[in-house]
Amino acid sequence: MYVSDCISVNERGHLTIGSYDTVELAKQFGTPLYAFDENEIRRNIREFKKSIDDEYNGNGLVVYASKAFCCKEMLRLCNSEGAGVDVVSGGELYTAISVDFPAENIVFHGNNKTYEELEMAVDYNVGRIVVDNLTELRTLDKIAEEKGKTVGIMLRIKPGIDAHTHSFIKTGQIDSKFGFSLETGEALEGIKEALSMENIKLRGLHCHIGSQIFDLDPFELAATVMLDLFKQVKDETGVELEDLNLGGGFGIKYLKSDRPRAYSDYMRKVSTAVNSYAADLGLKTPFILIEPGRSIVGAAGLTLYTVGCVKDIPDVRTYISVDGGMGDNPRYALYQSAYEVICANKAGEKRDWTVTVAGKCCESGDLIQEWTRVQPVEPGDILAVLSTGAYNYSMASNYNRIPKLPVIFVKNGKAREVVKRETYEQMCSCDI
């Protein structure tokens, strides 16, 4: 009935997440807050893992893209489920290191990693650094040599597939700041140089074709394009690469009408393509990495707000203002992202009122949703915005010096803070 099975309504007519009453959550921890169903996150990881086990003989690794939602407890959870983690900055890597995340299961991305970030990764023996460009490759080789280490890398390849055009296309030259381009020969050149380096171990190749993708065909095409490159590398250098990293981007439900495909469908299609195409090309089947971010946490989380003023502008629209806004959820302001809004304490009632939900920031564009249907709400009601588990906490800012929200995990009838609400003192702690 809702965007995720972990969302429901209890006998009091209150919205629940993981069977926990969200109105109680708001009372216990105050608003605004983010809440996640821990079991749902675990189920999602297990489903991805199972799809690799069932469809690809377990010859792969699920690597959680932590930029979707990164905090220590989330990374501990990933490790406890046997998933790896993908980090894209020194800060995300620091978070992983601080929970003793196994270095072999860390994948380090980014199109402009700093010298310090690369050193940090080499010092921690990160299993796979995904190198974006030749400058980075040479810097990394130098760092590895200085430290007397061999560094495992992958190269990020632009496969020339744009999954965001309605009917996806294979372009000659995709315009992207990420990675080595295939068409210009840059990719092969980078691969050859990496193979020639003494302190670098090229483990394989990576591609990531976009985000919130519902269509399975672009993933399949990307896999085959990458295998063509594996074949070319084998023919020209005699080296058979081991790892194929297919990135993330699996679509989730923001609206009830969204229809994401089961992860097992994705893996079946990609596995079939990889197995048969690798055989056609005379290649052994590669070890596969997939990097889901949004699909692991997105629909497992929601945001709770308290309604302040309700402003009805006759013949224009009705604004409902809440005690958060673009600071905790910039996605509507950034990309007019769609969300379902539910009055948590009136969840059993009909959503027959059309309103605009506004935040409390000094910015007319500080909106969470426009022309959305909600129950008749009044000041003091609790408003839930669903599917905010990905790219909300991680994209939050302190705009207007509003402190960051706490994150609550619920599991089996218990709720616990995994990130505390930021205090004013903490927010000002770097000020001189």
Ligand X SMILES: *Cc1c(COP(=O)(O)O)cnc(C)c1O
Name the token pair of 388: 């905010």
Looking at 187-195, 214-222, 291-299, 381-389, which segment touches ligand X (CB under 6 A)?
291-299
Q: What is the CA radius of gyration of the chain?
A: 23
> Which residues have CB under 8 Å from 216's CB, separation 6+?
261, 265, 266, 269, 270
Interacting positions 98-127 with ligand X (CB under 6 A): 109
Phi, psi of 344 (to 5 degrees): -60, -35
List the one residue from 21, 55, 86, 243 that touches ligand X (CB under 6 A): 86
Q: Name which of 23 and 296 has its Cβ closer to ligand X.
A: 296
List the one residue from 37, 141, 291, 340 that touches ligand X (CB under 6 A): 291
Question: Is 397 within 8 Å of 379 (Cβ atoms)?
Answer: no
Looking at 60-68, 119-127, 398-406, 412-420, which segment touches ligand X (CB under 6 A)?
60-68
List the one residue from 84, 159, 179, 247 that touches ligand X (CB under 6 A): 247
Could you count the other beta carbons within 10 Å of the beta carbon of residue 263?
Answer: 21
Interacting positions 364-393 with ligand X (CB under 6 A): none
Pairing relationship of beta strands 15-17 and 7-9 according to DSSP bridges: antiparallel
Concatenated DSSP letters of 205-233: EE----SSB--SHHHHHHHHHHHHHHHHH
Q: Name which of 21 and 243 has its Cβ closer to ligand X.
A: 243
∠ Cα 263 40 377 (to 5°): 115
Residue 362: active-site member: yes
The mark string for 150-189 relative to ligand X (x by CB under 6 A, - otherwise) is ----------------------------------------
The mark string for 207-236 relative to ligand X (x by CB under 6 A, - otherwise) is -x--x-------------------------
List the one residue from 95, 295, 303, 372 that touches ligand X (CB under 6 A): 295
Q: Name which of 86 and 117 has its Cβ closer to ligand X.
A: 86
∠ Cα 208 209 211 (to 5°): 95
If binding is defined by CB under 6 A, does position 331 make contact with ligand X? no
Which residue do the tokens 């169903």 mark?
Answer: 37
Q: Name which of 290 and 302 has its Cβ closer to ligand X.
A: 290
> Which residues have CB under 8 Å from 312's CB, separation 6+?
318, 319
Q: Name which of 19 and 111 has its Cβ closer to ligand X.
A: 111
List the one residue from 293, 325, 330, 406 that touches ligand X (CB under 6 A): 293
> Which residues have CB under 8 Å from 257's CB, separation 6+?
none
List the one residue from 32, 160, 248, 359 that touches ligand X (CB under 6 A): 248
Calpha distance 312→290 (Å, rounded): 47
Q: How many CA atoms lie within 13 A of 102 on its CB side?
A: 11
Catalytic residue among 78, 207, 309, 362: 362
Positions marked active-site: 362
Q: By the criterion CB under 6 A, which residues form the site for ligand X?
A: 65, 67-68, 86, 109, 208, 211, 247-250, 291-295
